[in-house]
Structure 1
Amino acid sequence: MDNASSRLPPPSTLPSFAQSLCPTFATHFLLPSLYILLFLTALPGNALSLWVFWLFSATKSTNHVYMSHLSVSNLLLSLTTPFLAAYFASGSAWPRAGVLCLFVVHGITPMLYINIYISLMIMTWVALSRFATLIQHTHASRPSSFTILLPHSFFTSVTKASFATKVCATVWVVTVGSILPVTVFYSVNEATSGNVGKNGESQEGGGTEDEQVCYNEAVEIGGNGSKAGQLPAIVLFYLCFLMVLLSYMIVLKHIRRSRSSTTITASWRLLGRVQRNIVVIQVILTVCLLPYHIFKPIFNVMSSDHQLTSPGESLSAPGVNTTNQCHPLSQLVELKNSLVLLAALRSSTDPVMYFLLDKTFRKHIVSLLTCPPHSSAMAEYDQRTGALRVTTETPTGGQSHERDL
């Protein structure tokens, strides 16, 4: 399902037998089950993470700011998953003009894509902030060329919590401001004005039987308008992906130079921590987001070629089943939806990423999970030292003890 229900191709260019998408067991059962599983893991995991970041952080670091916003985005994304599960389970039976269909297509789906790209940009900034920390606080036998190419004020600003807050606010405004107008124009406006022809003119009329249900070609395949709107998002992903990859390569080079230096002033713990942080982010981008952004341009080209094919050519196309009247791209639509699920799955892995990347977060989670049984615990911060002080009291003996984390 694309981030906007978009222009229908001219009815004359589509053969009558190829109008119906045919969802299989994967769409009706596997996708809904996995979305429900995603909801059950992402919602509590990110709620706990957000609670730790907001209540157990005496001093806000850049990591805490980025991860707090990332947790909010993941929480919003997790709230879309029950509706997406219902869409894939029953969307082929919902009426296209029904309230549920309109809500999922015009509300839930844009919300899903908004939070996918917000998370992408925030994770990129996490990697860049870690990279800046490394360049600023360590050096090898000679300074990195980035300290010469980039002004010192950049490295100073990018590691400040106030700068991270401004970055996150900008990411939210730009992402929401970019996707919402496209959604309103190409989704809501076209849904209320009927089919849209090749040149954008509204065509009143009924349409095929498949076009009257929610799970249909217009929503799942889209037209030229939505495909053009997806290009900036695809370009944005590759820019972020390459920036994280470049940061990782520079960190590896910096570590090698530090090890070969005879006068090392670098902190080996800092070097290892920064390398681990960037590696985790790179793996998440590669496993969860890269497959969708590789496949999506290919899918757009194939669907455009199909829309431009004349009815006679479509009828004679090899591999097209003219008996069950299934759309030739039905299986590719299911593959696309599976890759969107993989991209959304990243929201349930982020709490694990927090645990691996942030020492303070890890200490707080361990302290919460290792409290003695049958005891009550209170946590408060020492304003002078910034340490988390946990006080536990046993219900029987009334004894208590304190420990600083």
Structure 2
Amino acid sequence: MKNSTCLLQPSLATTVALPVIYSFLFPAGSIGNILAAWIFSRQALTKRTQYIYLVNLVSANLLICSTMPFLTVYFARGYQWTYNSVPCGIVNYLGTLIMHVNMYVTIMILSSIALSQYATLKKNSDAQYSQAGNENCQRFLLKKFRQPKFAKYLCIIIWLTVLCVTVIAITRNARARTMEESPRCYNIRVEAGELGAMVLATGCFFLSFMMVLLSYYSLTRHLSEIQRNTCIEEKHLIYRTVKRNIFVIQMILTVCFLPYHIFRPIFYVMLTNNDCPRLNYLVEIKNFLTCLAAAKSSLDPVITLLLDKTFKKSLCGLFTRSTSEQHKRNPDIFIEESPDT
């Protein structure tokens, strides 16, 4: 497959549409995430679990947005470069590689946010409503996701893992580039990537996807049980809010990432055929699905604006000159609690 003699011939969809899309996503995502980072840096609540996750999510989003200019140039001119040229190497390392590894940082952090939301609400409801059954292991794990200290360590582990994967990938790519002879930068090898990396990344996504899905299902069932047995009118808004937050995260994973991760294994299998026209179509479909996944990083500030009242009030304060005391009095739509000791 990677030694295919087929020369990819990108269509206008690749050489024009993708560069235009990335050109719009870059300023929108950069400005939005920089603004989000600035607002989070002004908050006194950064030691809270949700804000630890959100700050790391914004950092990963900014790294993804920083790769978009490289991807813009690659899709517009990559088919004219030779494989061993300096521009091709720069784009592969600073564009495609960094974008993909940080994409999985955002996936893991999003799933951690969903579990933290579910864990906090589950803990609050368990304190009021007794439930039968042996859930000690589940409660222990959920308790960890509520703790700011655990959130910090988890994010550190995620970033260290990403750093190791990046170094290994750069080393392997550099070795392969010295051995590979290809007339173009835009080729099957670059577009297909490594089989092992694809399997690992796909497994990571579906594990995160199922964790969020199970959290939403468990919360829905838990809420139904409480509603049948107890009047919870006073707390109903909180339950509904957390349920909506987890649902939004599930929709992000489903709309932005699921199509890419369903198509990627199919794409890898179908590349075994040396049918050039079909290979061109497969590569272009894969690249547009990748663009959809990358677009999520530009949309995250809008999603945070809709989900987080503190973020919304802080943003409004930039234009209305609200005082910090007013910000502190505004409740956060992300349900939180005091750190567990």
The equivalent position to 1:219 in structure 2, one of 190, 197, 210, is 190
Among 300, 306, 316, the residue aligned to 1:366: 316
Once the two structures are superposed, the pairs formed by residues 101-250 of structure 1 within 5 Å of their partners are 101-139=88-126, 142-143=130-131, 148-150=135-137, 152-185=139-172, 187-195=173-181, 211-222=182-193, 226-250=194-218
Deviations 1:63-111 (A, max 9, x none): 1111111001101110100110010001111222221111011332110
Decide which structure has the larger Cα Rg and report it: 1
Identity score, percent: 35
Deviation of the 1:360 alpha carbon: 1.3
Contact 2:202-2:261 at 8 Å conserved across structures: yes
Distance 1:248 1:100, change over 3 A: same
| Gap change, CA 1:229 and 1:350, over 3 Å in 2 | same
Supply the AA of the counterpart residue of 1:192: T
Residue 119 (structure 1) shift: 0.2
Task: Output one character per residue of 1:9-38: Cα deviation in whole Å (capped at 9) or x when no partner.
Answer: 2xxxx5xxx621010010010000000111
Task: Give the aligned partner of residue 285 of structure 2.
Answer: 335
Name which of structure 1's ranges 130-139 and 111-120 shifts more when overlaid on structure 2. 130-139
Kept after mapping to 1: 8 A contact 2:70/2:94 = no
**Aligned residue for 1:84?**
71
* Structure 1 CA distance for aligned equivalents of residues 230 and 186 of structure 2: 65
Scaled by the length of structure 2, the TM-score of the pair is 0.89
Asked if the contact 2:45–2:51 (Cα under 8 Å) also holds between the matched residues in 1, the reply is no
Superimposed CA distance per residue, residues 196-247 of structure 1 (whole angstroms, 9 cap, x where no aligned partner): xxxxxxxxxxxxxxx212112221234xxx1122101101100100110000
1:345 correspondence with 2:295: yes
> Residue by residue, what CA displacement relative to the aligned partner does 1:293-327 show, whole Å, maximum 9, x if unpaired?
000000111113x26xxxxxxxxxxxx5xxxxx55
* Cα distance in structure 1, aligned partners of 2:329 and 2:46: 10
Distance 2:119 2:199 in 1: 30
- Whole-Å separation in 2 of the counterparts to 1:44 and 1:19: 40
Greater helix percent: which structure?
2
- Aligned equivalents of 2:323, 2:144: Cα separation in 1: 32
Q: Which amino acid is the alignment partner of residue 255 of structure 2? A: V
**Residue correspondences, number:** 329
- State the match for 1:61 in structure 2: 48
Partners of 2:235 and 2:89 lie apart in 1 by 55
Correspondence 1:3-82 to 2 at 5 A = 8-9=2-3, 14=4, 19-58=6-45, 60-82=47-69
In the superposition, the TM-score normalised over structure 1's length comes to 0.76
In structure 1, give the amino acid aligned to 2:151.
A
Task: Please give the secondary structure, in 1, of the residue aligned with 2:9.
Answer: coil
Unaligned stretches of 5+ residues in structure 1: 1-6, 196-210, 308-319, 321-325, 372-376, 389-405
Distance 1:240 1:221 in 2: 23
Could you say if the C-alpha distance between residues 28 and 254 of structure 1 is closer, same or farther in structure 2, counting changes exceeding 3 Å? same
Q: Do 1:141 and 1:257's aligned partners in 2 also have CA atoms closer than 8 Å?
A: no
Contact 2:79-2:185 at 8 Å conserved across structures: yes
**Runs of 5+ in structure 2 lacking a partner?**
331-341
Quick one: which amino acid aligns to residue 194 of structure 1?
E
How far apart in 1 are the matches of 2:138 and 2:15?
Answer: 54
Which amino acid in 2 is paired with 1:127? A
